[in-house]
Amino acid sequence: MITLTGQLINVFVQPKGEKDGKEYGGQDKLQVIGDIDLPDGGKRVDMFTLTTRDIGNFKEFIGKKIRIPIGIFLAGRSQITYFIPQGSKPELVRE
């Protein structure tokens, strides 16, 4: 498992839709901004949009730095999808 540390900037429910007779969307999502270390020692800021089963665990942390375990899988040929494993909860990072 990989751990992501960053500032929680948003929580939302993805809108539902229908395509080819199949319903999609409706998942709880959150957005975290964090630093990505670069090979030359520099850093790049990136935003991660993650799926979770319960955004209620995250609402109190909006605007704060958190640490959460994440999973990664390949959806399609080249789309990387990030998710929060079931039962995982955010941890407040104190600086």
Cα–Cα distance measured from residue 70 to residue 19, given in angstroms and rounded to the nearest whole number: 28
More confident: 92 or 80: 92
Query: What pLDDT score does 38 carry?
Result: 93
Residue 74, beta-bridge partner list: 80
pLDDT in tens, 19-76: 888 888 888 999 999 988 899 999 999 999 998 988 999 999 999 999 999 988 888 8
Token representation of residue 16: 């539902």
Residue 82: which pLDDT band, with cuts at 50, 70 and 90?
confident
